[in-house]
Amino acid sequence: MTSTKPSPSPSLNHLSRRALPKLGIAGGIVSGVALGGWAGASRGLAQESTPGATPDVDLDLLLPATPAIEDDDEPTLEQTEGPYFTTNTPERTNLREEGVVGTNLTVAGFVVGLDGAPIPSTLIEFWQADGDGVYDNEGYRLRGHQLTDDEGRFILETVTPGLYPGRTRHIHVMVQAPGRDVLTTQLYLPDEPSNDEDNIFDESLRLEIQPEKLEDGSEVGLFTFVLDLS
Ligand code: FE
């Protein structure tokens, strides 16, 4: 079995400008590259090296060779962006930096079309509260973007988001296949008592928690984003 890890794309000029008005942000030019995704993607790729950009975990060991998708799978449900989205996040798959509060959680999976075919080079932006339920609205703690690898896979090394008033534990996500509109949604943990009290919680957005933890004690939650590219 070969080891394939996500590799950052050198360019985002294949991404759609159509997403920009939807996100309410302006595009720009950095190093001669036209930026089509949300502005969060631009700055990270302009940085020469980003700690955590390369995952420590081998995706071949975490994920099946191909994504499992049912014939009747529907596109991943859209959910609200919430008030705490920030642009210009770093490109990275590991959000566990010094000072981040919380227990380790690793999220991994695929981005696929309705036909189950993986979608490489899909831009994914994650942002979330720390284990105490606190967002970093000044900097980029627990925020980052990445591109799916050649097999449409992603991995996020993070911590379990904490609770804050009115919400169950959740991770915010934007997903944009090359040249397509942005899907904005949220991911949830299964068996979370506060899920039932959350107004927008949806069962279809639960992570599939794996029976075994990683060596670092991290819980592993799998999720497949299904995009309607028609
Ligand atoms: Fe939130």
- In order, the DSSP letters of 169-212 are SEEEEEEE-TTSPEEEEEEE-TT-GGGGG-SS--GGGB-EE-SS
Q: Tell me how far apart the alpha carbons of residues 9 and 176 are, in angstroms, rounded to a whole number.
A: 14
Beta-carbon-side half-sphere exposure of residue 29 (alpha carbons within 13 Å): 2
Distance from the alpha carbon of residue 174 to the mean position of ligand 1, in angstroms: 13
128 Cα to the center of ligand 1, angstroms: 6
Give distance in angstroms: CA of 170 to centre of ligand 1: 6
pLDDT tens-digit profile of 55-108?
A: 677 888 889 888 877 666 799 999 999 999 999 999 999 999 999 999 999 999
Write out pLDDT tens, residues 2-28.
444 444 333 333 333 333 333 322 333
* Protein residues placing their CB within 5 Å of the ion ligand 1: 82
Q: What is the Å distance from ligand 1's center to 132 Cα?
A: 12
Q: How far is the CA of 137 from the centre of ligand 1 (A)?
A: 12
The tokens describing 195, both together, are 């899920």
What residue has token string 């950052």?
Answer: 8
Q: How far is the CA of 167 from the centre of ligand 1 (A)?
A: 7
* Percentage of the chain exceeding pLDDT 90: 67
CA of 82 to the centre of ligand 1 (A): 6
Give residue 172 CA to ligand 1 midpoint distance, Å.
6
Global confidence as pTM: 0.78
- The confidence score (pLDDT) of residue 208 equals 96
How many whole angstroms separate alpha carbon 61 and alpha carbon 217? 16
Question: What's the pLDDT score for residue 146?
Answer: 98
